[in-house]
Amino acid sequence: MLYKHLSEVTDEEMEKLLCRTGDMMDVAGTVSSILKDVQEKGDEGLREYTLKFDKADIHTIEVSSEEIEQAMKEVDAELLRHLKIAAENIRNFHTAQLPQKTWYIEPSPGIKLGQMATPLASVGAYVPGGRASYPSTALMTIIPAKVAGVKNVVMCTPPGSDGKVNPLTLVAGKVAGADHIYKVGGVQAIAAMAYGTESVLSVDKIVGPGNVFVTVAKMMVRDKAEIDFPAGPSEVLIIADDSADAAMIASDILAQAEHDPKSVSVLVTTSSELAEQTNNEVKKQAAIAVRREIIEQSLENAAILVTDSMDECIRISNDFAPEHLEIMVEDDDAVLDMIENAGSIFVGNYAPVAAGDYASGTNHVLPTAGYPKIYSGLNIHHFLKYSTIQKITKEGLSSIGDTIIALAEKEGLQAHADSVKSRLMS
């Protein structure tokens, strides 16, 4: 872990912290090959790559209703209750995001301008597997799509070596409202949702997080299906002053670190005492962590930076543009007002990232690697498209006719000008 005063951080160390796009170019050739194979081979390609990467020999690619019913029986009733609580909170939050479906303004007599929101026809939700199962991601990706009114939402998630999907992930997909669930993951799943196969329906948009292979695959299929944004290894940046609790900060650092060896956790603080306490707490908590091996690898990407001012902390945060930002300072509103780039923001000592990951209701599918500078986290608007509307009378056209004609003729588009002249002369 990098542990220094900001003034001692080298340009190389800062560059490593800020440039987190990873090895996308290194995997581009492999990803392109898999995409092409699945596009050409369809289901056969899916089975081949599922056997190769997941060690699972799958015959039917779509999860059957019987398999879902069996999963419902296997999931503990109390756990199912908690899953439904989380689902309801997520549904409520995203319902609040819904825009007015159609609206109009009337800037002048005879001109009525408006906008109409309509849902996408089909969406593919990618739910990762691998190091852990993520039923929460099924809720986060499918529920907003359904709230937006998407009629066909499909979910892809990798199976275990036994060819079965984690029961809780299946149940989460069912609770969220998935119309089809496929037991296929990785690049091959992205290819299937983009191009379609004999079993998998092609979709208009693909959402959800994944590893570097999945992220690159999503970026490569954008000629066939739109995507939400690049989303890679998880990351958190914590801004704290001496009012924060070191044990809480350390637990949040480890919570991100346990995701993946490439996860990034950063603390920037004005308090050297808090920095020292947090460093000690991280070591203590990591030593007894369940996912200790992954955490220890991830902590190689972590940093504790001591600054001379809160303004420096905020500047670093805005440059870093974290997926998750925690603000643990006495005057948190003042800091919040100065934040420009963050995927999701957690304010106060009792707002851990885990709250948004599971049950508060906000979405945990977020841009990483600095992409919060240009992308928003997954929200209701990812599943809607907008059409503008003009309702214009002859009186209204007359009021802007000279302007249209003058500009059209200046651009050399006489037919455009004539389309207005003919109406005004009739």
From the annotation, which residues make up the binding site?
A: 126, 188, 211, 234, 256, 259, 324, 357, 411, 416
How far is the CA of 367 from the CAs of 95, 242, 338, 352, in angstroms? 21, 29, 20, 18
What the block records as the tokens of 81 is 């209750």
Sheet holding 384-392, edge to edge: 102-108, 111-119, 384-392
Q: Strands 111-119, 384-392: parallel, antiparallel or unpaired by DSSP?
A: antiparallel
CB 129 within 8 A of CB 96: no
Q: How far apart are CA 384 and CA 226, in angstroms?
A: 12
CA dihedral (43, 221, 201, 86) positive or negative = positive
Question: Quick one: which H or E segment has residue 115?
Answer: strand 111-119
Look up residue 376 and give its amino acid. S
Name every residue whose Cβ is closer than 8 Å to that of residue 109 and which is 6 or more positions away in sequence. 395, 396, 399
Residue ranges of the binding site for NAD(+): 126, 188, 211
Asked if residue 152 lies in contact with residue 122, where contact means CB atoms within 8 angstroms, the answer is yes
Q: Which member of 323, 326, 364, 382 is catalytic?
A: 323
* Half-sphere exposure (Cβ direction) of 22: Cα atoms closer than 13 Å: 22
Annotated catalytic residue within 180, 226, 235, 324:
324
Asked if residues 124 and 193 have their Cβ atoms less than 8 Å apart, the reply is: yes
User: What is the C-alpha separation between 267 and 2, in angstroms, rounded?
Assistant: 10
Residues comprising the chain, all counted: 426
Beta strand ranges found along 149-299 (DSSP E): 152-156, 180-182, 205-207, 226-227, 235-240, 264-269
Residue 326 has which token pair? Answer: 């925690």
For residue 194, the one-letter residue type is: A
What region does 396 belong to: left with phi over 0, alpha with psi -120 to 50, or beta? alpha
* Rounded Cα–Cα distance for residues 321 and 17 (Å): 11
Q: Quick one: which of 306, 354, 336, 325 has its CA closest to 264?
A: 325
Which residue shows structure tokens 């091996």?
Answer: 293
Widest Cα–Cα separation across the chain: 84
Confirm whether 323 is a catalytic residue.
Answer: yes
Name the nearest CA neighbour of 185 among 276, 52, 339, 5: 52
324 assigned to active site = yes
Cα–Cα dist 76/79, whole Å: 5
Question: Which residues belong to the active site?
Answer: 323-324
